[in-house]
Structures are given as structure tokens and as C-alpha cells.
Amino acid sequence: MAEPSTSGPRIRSGARPEIRPEIRRGTRPRHRYTLAVVLTATAFAATVPVASARPALPGGGGTEAAPTVVMIHGAWADTSSWGGEVKILRAEGYSARAIGNPLEGLTTDAETVADFVKSIPGPVVLVGHSYGGSVITNAAARTGNVKALVYVDAAAPAVGETTGELSGSASALNAPPETLFDSVPYANAPEGTANLYLKQDIFVRKFAQDLPAQQAVNLWATQRAASMAAFDTPSKYAAWKTIPSWYFISTGDQIITPESELMMARRAGSKITTFQGGSHLTLISHPEAVTKVIKAAIEAVS
């Protein structure tokens, strides 16, 4: 498995609940019985693992400081894209959620995500993949509790930019649309807008090329459509200007090119991790590498 190399500053990196057995007091003290109960309860407590809601953090941050991680998927994907990251984070005691991205239009998609984030008490680390990066860039500006942004092979638009113009000059998406997408009308769509599905050969060879072929085909068969409006709507905000950010860049990404991602990461002042190889779906093929960057963001803001 390829190991990520990280540029930018390196991030340097509680207590079991006391179990008090309830002792019933009578009119006459029974010291032997009371002592036996205490010793038995203490021995039992020592054998029972106590789960912490959140892990202890490097630097003595304590168990209460870790934020909730909220992950936003991109186009032609769904929440299962984050399955590996959710499994790792939750197994280590972090609070992690992956929520649905409507894929209908940047402004309304960002509002949907912002409403969810605002429902979470406490700080949030907001993570976006692909088009989901544009969504978190806008959603975070509409909340008060996002403390870090993590971009995973993602777009990070400036105000006025569209997701569609950030793929990079060498992107596979620069081919004629009829060779890339199956276009399907949908109810109440804005005039001239349709749902787009990636064609199978593009999905397998350009979108998910580092996954086993059968897994890539299955992902193609279960992809969610993305409205053209998702890629054509100008960004209203650029939350990376005021919120610290991390950027995970796969050198094998053919959808949003590494060169385009590096440009966006540098102008955002992000802490950059470059992963050798991968694809646009490195979050599925190498969740450990992606999770390492998410954890760096968590530790930095906790």
C-alpha cells in the first residue's frame, strides 16, 4: 500500500468513571458484609472495559475536546464512500458521521449540509470529497461550529468559481459530454438541466481505476446521479479563507487533477498530503491514508 507523504508543519501530538456500588445500610452496621461488597464490586469493575465516548488526544487535550467529524460525498457516489473512514474513526472512539449530499445544486446542497452541521452541539471537522469539497466550502461559512476543513481529492472553489471549471486541463472530464455521461431528465429540473450518470467505461477506467474491476463495476451500477446544476452553480463563499484546512491529493486522480488540487490547496494555505497513486476514489481504496489526515485535523483543533 502506498504511504502518504505530508508537507507543511507536522502536528504534535481520560479517566475511567468511578464505580460506586450501592450499599444498603441497615439499623446495625455490618462491617464484614460491607467490605465484601466493596471488594467484589471493585474486582468486577477492574475486569469490565469502560468505553470512552472519545479517545484521549495527544498533548493532553482530554476526552471531551474531540469534535464530531462530518463527511460529505461527491458526485456519482453516496455515503457508503466513507465506509472505511467511518469504521476506523468510530472504532477509535471518535464521533463520525457521513450524510447524504443531494447533488442538486451547489447553493441548496450547501444549505442542506449547513443545517445538519448546525444541529450538532460542539465543534465539527467538515470533510468533503470531490464535489463535496465545494459543498463544505460553502456550508462551513453558514455555520459557527466548523473548526477545520478537510479536502479529499476535492474542489475548493473561490467565490464566483464553479466546480466544473476546477477539474484541471488534463481531466478526463474535458472530453465531449456525450462520451462521458448518460443524460436523463428529472422532475422540476431548471430549464436546460438534466441528471448526469457517468458512463461505465469512464467510471471504471478513469474514476475508480485503482479498485478491483468488479468492485468498480458495482459502484458504477449503484452510482447516484448528479444534476448539471451541481457543477454550474458559482460558489457564494470561500470558507477556507478563515477556517484552517487540510488537503489530501492522490497523484492518480484523473477527475480533478493533482495540479488543480495543488493550486487550490496552496491558495487556501492548506496542510497538504500527497498520496502516490490511488484514483479519484482513494477514499474507498485506501481509507487508512485518508483517515490519517482527518485525524491530524481533529488533533490540531481539539
Where in the chain are the domains?
Answer: 66-170+234-301
What DSSP element (H or E) covers 91? helix 83-91
Are the C-beta atoms of 302 and 66 separated by less than 8 Å?
yes
pLDDT at 66: 83
Q: Residue 30 — very low, low, confident or very high, per pLDDT cuts 50/70/90?
A: very low
pLDDT tens per residue, range 118-144: 999 999 999 999 999 999 999 999 999
pLDDT at 7 over 80: no
Q: Which residue has the higher pLDDT, 190 or 56?
A: 190
Q: Which residue has the higher pLDDT, 49 or 101?
A: 101
Question: What is the chain's mean pLDDT, rounded?
Answer: 85
- Domain 66-170+234-301 in CATH 3.90.226.10? The answer is no
Q: Is the dihedral of CA 54, 59, 62, 64 positive or negative?
A: negative
Are the C-beta atoms of 196 and 182 separated by less than 8 Å?
yes
pLDDT at 32 over 70: no
pLDDT tens per residue, range 60-82: 344 455 899 999 999 999 999 99
Phi, psi of 108 (to 5 degrees): -75, -35
**Residue where the block lists cell 507536522:** 10
Q: Residue 53 — very low, low, confident or very high, per pLDDT cuts 50/70/90?
A: very low
